Structure 1
């Protein structure tokens, strides 16, 4: 998939990114948006929405014209490096070191960005372990030598004396003295720094808590706080990030910087809604809330729609009130109008005030078609009907989620893909796609589950549950509300000491960025189809699929038949839905609908009909079309036969794993109107409902749209 697919409004010359960075993709200057107080930009969207792809696009396109650093907060590399010397390194310091290294390698206008302030802080931390031997400490300090500035920066601060300073540090191995190692390092650093450099270090580290304007004392305090760990270490790490941003600011305000640099530098943080990302973002937000502004454009990704709970005070409703973050979609038009709300006390107001939420765009229908056409390299005269079925299936399953579109497009473009006669979405999910070194490839459904679920578990998912997570979600694909899901979870996890309730799983799905649908526990249609397919194949002959539906059928059948059900009207209707999905026994369901036709109001009866008729069909023979069109022999009187036909027409129209059949869509409203001929049947309601169904079907829309199906049409 091209990195810029779907991002046109973000990437164009007057789009958000060009105005934030002050440069277009082609390198032309643009008047910077906002400033000097900049928001932290959070790109929000669930798995497969292209957040990381957009950051890669920014790095590749805009990164040629403004200094840019990119960090994946999900990489284990930084944690592994920190664990090698846990007393003088942390995950945060390793990331800051990497960011400084990338800025120091910048080769565009203005040249590399030197980071002497950050170097001084990292050197102090590296020399601060009182329990380590001198050789180890020297090695730790020398790790940061590549951050020593070169060239003409500061007219000689460190650069002319850098080699001598580094040589003295190395010499401390052979001549350890009685003076603490950190004192020796800081004394040498300050002794070999020019007066201008001392003033700059004093302006930075002299502001550290308790430093009183003395840089050496500030560096000592910072190193001491780092050694204390916990909250004190977080304070030290936050200050190191402030020092790095001060280095970036200095690179722009110096005489050379003003003459040679334009735009704003950028820091791109992928997977920033984990612990590391939050630890990096929090001090930036806190500093800017205090009025300590800088020109660094911080763009980070987050899966939750509200950007993440760390933005809010405990107990506060997320995203409400005057301090809620500004939220903007590229389809809103124009540019987001962001400014920090007036007032607010640093440390007491939520960090969300300093955030701009940019909601990742879904692909439009045209963009989806262009992408699948590009992947398939279609030829003139190819089977247009087959193309349309594939495109419409990809649209239904993906809902515009870019990763779905690209993977399904790749799979259906494969020479090995031959669409079966039924042309269902299940066939698309069975299409194979090459992944890695696999010669025959693997079903695209398995690859998508791996990318969307297995590789992106919720951060708060207990370690002992990680091996069960995909299985739990597969079982939950047949559940509706949380109460329904909880019935399943009690049975599926029976015998386990450590369990997850359906209520907790719903929270974890929300934290992972998956949408909520009031009528389906798995609130994304494409994901639900992937999980349903997996559940059906979890055990031979669909035994796990049938077992879950039968469990729910028996649960709701045991309740009072008249008991109300929020989503099905009655517990009995809920039971019928699962009975139809498990056993395919349409006759029993028809008997139930026939029996309740005159005991329910017309509106209630139609609602139950739709809720029952949503029962999916997986495996087994499919006689729905024949029964819907009256081509099958059905026992009973005229009303029962009409109800049977109506049930199967509804099933086909609500299945939405294939394109709508015109014969069925024409028949369904007529059958409903004919039922209104029955005495006391609520003819007016049935006639009105038939008209409503006809209008929805004409627009290719679901009969009972919900959050996860409203994109169909």
Structure 2
């Protein structure tokens, strides 16, 4: 995928990132957005929305002109370093150390950014465990030396102290110290530092709670709090992060910094909605809420649209909700910290700006498909340009591939790119649909076999992005559970299905908990479908169908849900389907709806039901039930729906019964979001509804109005029964 695809309004010379950092991608200066009080910017969007890709663009392009550090908060490297010496390290200390090392390697205008304040704090932590041997503590102290870049002012300031305490430590290794090693290290450090160094540490660690202006006491207390664990350690970690930001601020406000440094430095936190990321961003939010301002631009990624639950803890003021901005809105986001009565009760979200990651527009999707597949496509204006080498043509098959990609992806960038790559040489079968696209080979992920693009997408979007709070014993079952839930609609159905499918397991997940975990992963919600993203639902349904021969698992799930409703009275109300009977018919059609050339048993039963209830239901309710029943994908078996819709292969019964059967198949095709319906089918829709109006004295007006509404939607390629996950389809 083109790295900056879809980011035009974010990355251009007058875009959000350039104005936030004060520099363009080419290094030109721009007036920075906001004042000294900066928001923490969260790039929010679910899996495959390009959050990490955007951070990569900022790091690669803007990182040449402003100091930039990048940290993947979900990477195992931090955890692995902590595991080596957990008594002296934490995820936060190792993350801060990595940030400082990256800032210390900055080679642009103004040179490296040293971190002497953080260095002193990490020295205190490195020598804080009285149970560790002197040798291990000395080794840990020497681990911190990389935080002071050679040739910098601070390296010179601390050089005497470094030589002094290392000499002292050498003696301690030979002869065990009578005093804690932390005292020896800090005494040497503070005694041998220059006046400027001592003043800097006093301003920083003298402000540590309980220090009373003494940097030595502040460092000792910080180290003791770190060893306490729990809230004490968390407070120490927050202060260490403040120390690093003060180092960065000092590098920009010094005489040399003011003359040489232009723009704001950036900290890029990928996967910042996990534990480590939340600790880091919360520290910045709380400090800035209390007036500790700095110029560090923090760009963090989060999958939930609201940035994450930690931004909106219960019991905090509602006026502290995070501001939001979408690039499609145009302009630049305005942000300022609104007044609040008690800052201690304000939501952390008050200091956040949520930037919603943009979906690809239709034009952007066409350009990406064309770029990937070797053609420029037709474009919004319909201009046909030459096809590239090896491109399999730009006829009807190619157009159906492109529209299928748009339907399945919904503009999700990773979905678009994966499908475009996999279908570069794909020819759509004459009676094919989007399900065929998902079977296209996507290349190898290992040396053994080639994988279908659907399996690669599930790996990208689900397996590699498991919910943080998913219990370890459920990780290997997560994809299976979601696959079963692809057939469910409301939470009650989903819960019944989960009880059935996990009956043999000791550890189970409820559907309600799964819904929470899906929201935490950033997947959208649809009131009509438990899996609220059309593309993800198709991936999971395809996987479920292929789990067992002949789609047995798919049929069993639908049959279970159908039979679960068998005890309900036919007219019992149902929130999504109108009645329990209509809900039952929906699953019956899904379980046994594949055509066989002579009419599918599932479709026959539904036709009989609709014909029987036409005279007993209110006409508007009857039409609603028809739409809800027919909103079901067809998997497996020959597809004779078009023939049935146009009157071929008729069903048993009289003219009215045949008319209802044709209407069912027309609506079924129109509601099938996996294919484009031709004009012959859509033009039949109005005719059938108007003919049915002859059968109802009291419903003729309703049917005539419905005929107009439905035929207009069908003509515009819209769903007859709109919902949140199909609204993008045109």
Query: What pairs with 1:675-694 in structure 2 (closer than 5 Å)?
Result: 675-694=692-711
User: Which residue of structure 2 lines up, in the alignment, with residue 629 of structure 1?
Assistant: 646
Instruction: State the shift of 1:681 in Å.
Output: 4.9
Q: Secondary structure in 1 aligned to 2:393? A: coil
1-side partners of 2:666 and 2:502: how far apart? Answer: 37
User: Which residue of structure 2 lines up, in the alignment, with residue 392 of structure 1?
Assistant: 403
Of 424-433 and 159-168, more deviation after overlay is shown by 159-168
Instruction: State the shift of 1:272 in Å.
Output: 0.5
The TM-score, its normalising length taken from structure 1, stands at: 0.97
User: Which residue of structure 1 lines up, in the alignment, with residue 223 of structure 2?
Assistant: 223
Instruction: State the shift of 1:153 in Å.
Output: 1.8
Q: Deviations over 1:633-679 (max 9, x none)?
A: 32211111110000000111111211121100111111011100114
2-side partners of 1:79 and 1:700: how far apart? Answer: 50
User: Which residue of structure 2 lines up, in the alignment, with residue 647 of structure 1?
Assistant: 664
Unaligned runs of 5+ in 1: none
User: Which residue of structure 2 lines up, in the alignment, with residue 192 of structure 1?
Assistant: 192
Query: What pairs with 1:503-652 in structure 2 (closer than 5 Å)?
Result: 503-584=512-593, 585-652=602-669
Q: Deviations over 1:451-478 (max 9, x none)?
A: 1111111111111111111101000000
Instruction: State the shift of 1:618 in Å.
Output: 0.2
Whether the 8 Å contact between 2:630 and 2:668 is mirrored in structure 1 is yes
User: Which residue of structure 1 lines up, in the alignment, with residue 344 of structure 2?
Assistant: 347
User: Which residue of structure 2 lines up, in the alignment, with residue 447 of structure 1?
Assistant: 456
Instruction: State the shift of 1:175 in Å.
Output: 4.0
1-side partners of 2:720 and 2:206: how far apart? Answer: 68
Structure-2 change in CA distance of 1:469 and 1:440 (3 Å): closer
Instruction: State the shift of 1:436 in Å.
Output: 3.5
Structure-2 change in CA distance of 1:633 and 1:177 (3 Å): closer
User: Which residue of structure 1 lines up, in the alignment, with residue 359 of structure 2?
Assistant: 362
Of 374-383 and 627-636, more deviation after overlay is shown by 374-383
Whether the 8 Å contact between 2:323 and 2:354 is mirrored in structure 1 is yes
User: Which residue of structure 1 lines up, in the alignment, with residue 419 of structure 2?
Assistant: 408
Q: Secondary structure in 1 aligned to 2:635? A: coil
User: Which residue of structure 2 lines up, in the alignment, with residue 705 of structure 1?
Assistant: 722
1-side partners of 2:609 and 2:632: how far apart? Answer: 15
Q: Deviations over 1:356-404 (max 9, x none)?
A: 0000000001101110111111353923212211110000000000010
Whether the 8 Å contact between 2:116 and 2:154 is mirrored in structure 1 is no
Structure-2 change in CA distance of 1:418 and 1:141 (3 Å): same
2-side partners of 1:264 and 1:689: how far apart? Answer: 58
Q: Deviations over 1:61-90 (max 9, x none)?
A: 111110000000111111121121111100
User: Which residue of structure 1 lines up, in the alignment, with residue 11 of structure 2?
Assistant: 11
The TM-score, its normalising length taken from structure 2, stands at: 0.95
Of 428-437 and 35-44, more deviation after overlay is shown by 428-437
What is the aligned counterpart of 1:695 among 685, 691, 712? 712
1:486 aligns with 2:503: no
Whether the 8 Å contact between 1:675 and 1:681 is mirrored in structure 2 is no
Of 434-443 and 473-482, more deviation after overlay is shown by 434-443
Q: Secondary structure in 2 aligned to 1:467? A: helix
User: Which residue of structure 2 lines up, in the alignment, with residue 121 of structure 1?
Assistant: 121
User: Which residue of structure 1 lines up, in the alignment, with residue 597 of structure 2?
Assistant: none
Instruction: State the shift of 1:705 in Å.
Output: 1.0
Of 61-70 and 460-469, more deviation after overlay is shown by 460-469
Q: How many residue pairs are counted as aligned between the two chains? A: 708
Instruction: State the shift of 1:170 in Å.
Output: 4.2
Q: Secondary structure in 2 aligned to 1:185? A: helix
User: Which residue of structure 2 lines up, in the alignment, with residue 236 of structure 1?
Assistant: 236
Instruction: State the shift of 1:500 in Å.
Output: 1.2
Say what the alpha-carbon RMSD is for the aligned residues.
1.4
Of 36-45 and 654-663, more deviation after overlay is shown by 654-663
Q: Secondary structure in 2 aligned to 1:269? A: strand
Q: Secondary structure in 1 aligned to 2:42? A: strand
Whether the 8 Å contact between 1:148 and 1:162 is mirrored in structure 2 is no
1-side partners of 2:444 and 2:306: how far apart? Answer: 33
Q: Secondary structure in 2 aligned to 1:434? A: strand
Instruction: State the shift of 1:152 in Å.
Output: 4.2
Instruction: State the shift of 1:162 in Å.
Output: 4.0
Unaligned runs of 5+ in 2: 376-385, 594-601
Instruction: State the shift of 1:252 in Å.
Output: 0.2
Structure-2 change in CA distance of 1:457 and 1:155 (3 Å): closer
User: Which residue of structure 2 lines up, in the alignment, with residue 426 of structure 1?
Assistant: 435
Instruction: State the shift of 1:487 in Å.
Output: 1.5
Q: Secondary structure in 2 aligned to 1:580? A: helix
Q: Deviations over 1:181-209 (max 9, x none)?
A: 00110111112210111011000001001
Q: Secondary structure in 1 aligned to 2:225? A: helix
Of 374-383 and 99-108, more deviation after overlay is shown by 374-383
2-side partners of 1:126 and 1:42: how far apart? Answer: 32
Instruction: State the shift of 1:4 in Å.
Output: 0.6
Q: Deviations over 1:269-321 (max 9, x none)?
A: 011001111111111100000000000000101111111111122256xxx93
Instruction: State the shift of 1:95 in Å.
Output: 0.4
Q: Secondary structure in 1 aligned to 2:318? A: coil
Structure-2 change in CA distance of 1:577 and 1:134 (3 Å): same
Whether the 8 Å contact between 1:35 and 1:295 is mirrored in structure 2 is no
Q: Secondary structure in 2 aligned to 1:43? A: strand
2-side partners of 1:131 and 1:256: how far apart? Answer: 43
2-side partners of 1:550 and 1:5: how far apart? Answer: 44
